[in-house]
Amino acid sequence: EHVFIDNASTDGTQQKLRALAARDKRVKVILNSRNFGVTRSGFYGILQCRGDAVIPMAADLQDPPELIPEFIQKWEEGYKAVLAVKRSAGESRLMYSIRRFYYKLVNRLSEIPLIENYYGFGLYDRCIIEALRKMDDPYPYFRGLVMEAGFEHALVYFDQPVRKRGKSTYNFYRLYDLAMLGITSHSKVPLRLATMLGFAMSALSFLVGMGYLLYKLLFWKEFTLGIAPILVAVFFLGSVQLFFIGILGEYIGFLYTHVQKRPLVIEKERINFD
């Protein structure tokens, strides 16, 4: 089967998918009522597959179809997951460096081992798909959930080609949202860091205060504190507080999304799933 899921596109894709499905009953199509985003829509499409294994791919062909035979070979060797890992990518050096830094950061913070430069492309056995279905995550970090499932996996390295057509809609906000999803889904380290830093800053502030008090008592007339150190301390502590309030807000937003229990997508039309 070939399962296509469309996020309310307006470029004629839906008409072409209907035509493909009319010619071949193995082509299955899901048309969403609106754009629910790649994260939710892609995961929903994977869950609709009923084969012995699933290979999710982006429609921009930056996931090379030429790797499929190698995926199947590894799967037939007994691996439950075959993960494609980018060795290089056809993007700017700055963006690639930022991605590498992010993967290293998330891997350090995560409570489960994650794979650098793996973003979801690969082959997944039915048992992994069933495990993901049971997790019932309304806003899934797919690559993290795959590692959470914990099955044996093989790695296949490849060079990601340049996108030849179309333009990615991933702006800074979407990339930031995906990055924070990865951190909040699999790590409590930022919250623990806030607690430990709070204790450390309290102890440091107490010691500095006692030092200033002692110095003032010993040199009452000569020592003048001035307003500059106070302003520096206020701005520093204020910035630290705002940073960790933001971290706390990300976790609250993560919990808010999950307790709403909204569906991954809402379908407008479903073709050839009879």
In tens digits, the chain (274 residues) has pLDDT values of: 999 999 888 888 899 999 999 999 999 999 999 998 888 899 999 999 999 999 999 887 788 899 999 999 999 999 999 999 988 776 667 777 777 777 777 777 777 778 888 888 999 999 999 999 888 888 888 888 888 888 899 999 988 877 766 666 665 667 677 777 777 777 777 777 777 777 777 777 777 777 777 877 777 766 666 666 676 777 777 777 878 888 888 888 888 777 888 888 999 999 998 8
- How far from 196 is each of 161, 192, 241, CA to CA, in Å? 44, 6, 13
In a shared domain, residues 221 and 161: no
In a shared domain, residues 84 and 195: no
Would you state the pLDDT for residue 204? Answer: 77
Instruction: Confirm if 7 and 37 have CB atoms less than 8 A apart.
Output: yes
In a shared domain, residues 40 and 81: yes
In a shared domain, residues 175 and 209: no
In a shared domain, residues 206 and 173: no
> Distance between CA 46 and CA 3 in Å, rounded?
8
pLDDT tens, residue by residue, 154-183: 999 988 877 766 666 665 667 677 777 777
Would you state the pLDDT for residue 168? Answer: 61
Reported in sequence order, the residue ranges of 76-202 that DSSP labels E, i.e. its strands, are 81-89, 118-125, 153-160
In a shared domain, residues 167 and 39: yes
In a shared domain, residues 84 and 196: no
In a shared domain, residues 91 and 22: yes
- How far from 96 is each of 86, 102, 122, 176, 200, CA to CA, in Å? 10, 10, 20, 15, 35
Amino acid residing at 90: G
Q: Where are the alpha helices (DSSP H) in 32-77?
A: 37-47, 68-76
CATH of the domain at 103: 3.90.550
In a shared domain, residues 21 and 114: yes
Locate 30 and state its tokens.
Answer: 């899901």
In a shared domain, residues 156 and 218: no
In a shared domain, residues 8 and 107: yes
Would you state the pLDDT for residue 122? Answer: 93
Q: How many domains does the chain have?
A: 2
Instruction: Find the domain containing 87 and state its range.
Output: 2-188+260-271
Q: pTM of the predicted model, to two decimals?
A: 0.74
In a shared domain, residues 133 and 49: yes
